[in-house]
């Protein structure tokens, strides 16, 4: 990996060759070994390498973090000032920015504080603004945006993500960057974090689109990343009436969701409630609890459909059905009283999950003769 002359000489050589990938790999070696005297040679000739080497020598300390941030600033300045092709510089920038975040998180964990992460946010916002101002350098702003989003999630400041994503979204609409030419690792991270924020904002359809983009780009061998994407994508797709296969869940070690998937699709409300209670803590930590909780309405809708199908006579569909079988099913599945059953049926009708009306006088449920159960995607966002 390194050439004769140590880290600094190799760093400068790869810069001369515009070889961002080799530079990334070189930077990554600093995580697993200590710097030698030869590694420090020639660092004085270059501000970026000087800052990296000092941060490397300082290790996991506040001084190390400050010099790591200095390296990010210097590299970003070079990225802004360089007139030639600069896309190769994005890959090392990914490493440098991720390193500062990781270091800040370790320092905060040791001191049980937030100040180091907040320091990285402060510098990152400054660099993000500088890069975004230059329309030819907005690809670099995407790198910083990913780290800002990660930090905001870590700090519990999800509301701050809107500022970053609004800026990125505007740049995307104005064709300020070409996704096809960007590093896949950057795009996967951006789309995943974007989708995760949209999940928390309740914009399920938009979240499903971003998370699907992230999954389509994510390499099959990146099992951990694919699993993380699917933790958010599967609940979104369930809300839209799309049920994952058992094989997909097993391949990505998401068997914990299989019970919720089966209960929702089969209309087994009792099983759904049990699974939701059992997985409450994990779903809350993940940030998808409220998305999954709203699937109860889909389970109710599918329960009503099951009762409806059982009332068929010789294959013919009865549009007018007695209320009593529905009351019995809701009592069995969710301990509902007759009044509670009527309220739930009325709510499903109001949402558009069921097309029809209730006849209290005749104790009937009158279903529409045409599509009494519209697709889940047509009404679920109202729930």
pLDDT value at residue 38: 84
Average pLDDT, the chain: 91
| Band (353; pLDDT cuts 50, 70, 90) | very high
pLDDT band at 3 (very low <50, low <70, confident <90, very high): very low
More confident site: 171 or 243? 243
For tokens 């199908």, the residue is 309
Higher pLDDT, 339 or 180: 339
CB 3 within 8 A of CB 28: no
The predicted structure's pLDDT at residue 315: 52
Q: State mean pLDDT over 26-30.
A: 94
| pLDDT tens-digit series, residues 311-333 | 765 455 578 889 999 999 999 99
Is a pLDDT exceeding 90 seen at residue 305?
yes
In the Cβ-directed half-sphere of 50, how many Cα atoms lie within 13 Å? Answer: 8
Contact status, residue 260 vs residue 276, Cβ threshold 8 Å: yes
According to DSSP, the β-strands at 320-322 and 364-367 are antiparallel
Task: Give dist(CA 111, CA 267) in Å, integer.
Answer: 48
Count the Cβ atoms, other than its own, within 10 Å of residue 100. Answer: 27
Rounded average pLDDT over 96-116: 95
Determine the pLDDT at residue 329.
Answer: 95
> What mean pLDDT is predicted for residues 5-16?
88
pLDDT at 342 over 70: yes
For residue 142, pLDDT beyond 80: yes
Q: Is the pLDDT of residue 343 over 90?
A: yes
Instruction: Provide the pLDDT for residue 176.
Output: 62
- Strand partners for 321: 365
pTM, rounded to two decimals: 0.86
Task: Measure Cα distances from 76 to 23, 145, 161 in Å.
Answer: 15, 13, 22
Length of the chain, please? 383
CB 297 within 8 A of CB 343: no
Q: What is the pLDDT of residues 61-82, one digit of tens each?
A: 999 999 999 999 999 999 999 8
Q: And the tokens for 104?
A: 């800040």
Q: Please give the pLDDT value at position 49.
A: 92
Among residues 19, 25, 70, the alpha carbon closest in space to that of 49 is found at 70
> What sections of 158-222 are H helices per DSSP?
161-173, 184-200, 204-217
pLDDT surpasses 90 at 344: yes
pLDDT bin (cut points 50, 70, 90) of residue 5 is: low
State the pLDDT at residue 2: 43
Sheet containing strand 320-322, strands side by side:
320-322, 364-367, 356-359
């Amino acid at each position: 990996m390194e050439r004769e002359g140590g880290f600094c000489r190799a760093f400068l050589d790869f810069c001369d060759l515009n070889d961002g990938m080799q530079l990334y790999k070189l930077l990554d070696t600093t995580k697993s070994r200590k710097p030698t005297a030869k590694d420090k040679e020639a660092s004085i000739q270059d501000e970026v390498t000087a800052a990296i080497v000092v941060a490397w020598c300082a290790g996991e300390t506040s001084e190390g973090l400050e010099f790591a941030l200095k390296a990010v600033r210097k590299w970003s300045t070079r990225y802004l000032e360089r007139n030639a092709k600069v896309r190769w510089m994005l890959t090392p920038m990914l490493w440098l920015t991720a390193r500062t975040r990781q270091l800040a998180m370790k320092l905060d964990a040791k001191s049980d504080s937030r100040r180091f992460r907040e320091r990285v946010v402060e510098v990152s916002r400054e660099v993000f603004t500088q890069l975004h101002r230059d329309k030819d350098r907005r690809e670099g702003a995407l790198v910083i945006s990913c780290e800002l989003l990660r930090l905001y999630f870590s700090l519990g400041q999800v509301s701050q993500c809107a500022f970053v994503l609004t800026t990125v979204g505007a740049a995307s609409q104005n064709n300020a960057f070409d996704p096809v030419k960007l590093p896949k690792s950057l795009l996967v991270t951006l789309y995943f974090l974007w989708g995760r924020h949209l999940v928390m904002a309740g914009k399920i359809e938009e979240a499903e689109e971003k998370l699907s983009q992230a999954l389509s780009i994510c390499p099959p061998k990146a099992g951990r990343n694919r699993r993380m994407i699917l933790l958010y994508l599967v609940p979104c797709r369930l809300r839209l009436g799309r049920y994952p296969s058992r094989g997909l869940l097993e391949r990505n070690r998401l068997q914990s969701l299989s019970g919720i998937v089966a209960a929702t699709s089969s209309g087994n409300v009792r099983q759904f409630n049990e699974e939701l209670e059992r997985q409450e803590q994990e779903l809350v930590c993940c940030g998808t609890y409220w998305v999954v909780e709203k699937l109860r309405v889909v389970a109710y809708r599918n329960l009503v459909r099951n009762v409806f199908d059982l009332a068929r006579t010789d294959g013919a569909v009865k549009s007018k059905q007695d209320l009593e079988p529905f009351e019995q099913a809701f009592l069995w599945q969710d301990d509902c009283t007759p009044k509670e059953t009527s309220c739930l049926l009325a709510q499903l009708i109001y949402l558009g999950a069921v097309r029809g009306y209730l006849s209290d006088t005749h104790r009937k449920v009158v279903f529409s003769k045409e599509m009494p159960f519209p697709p889940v995607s047509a009404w679920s966002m109202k729930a």
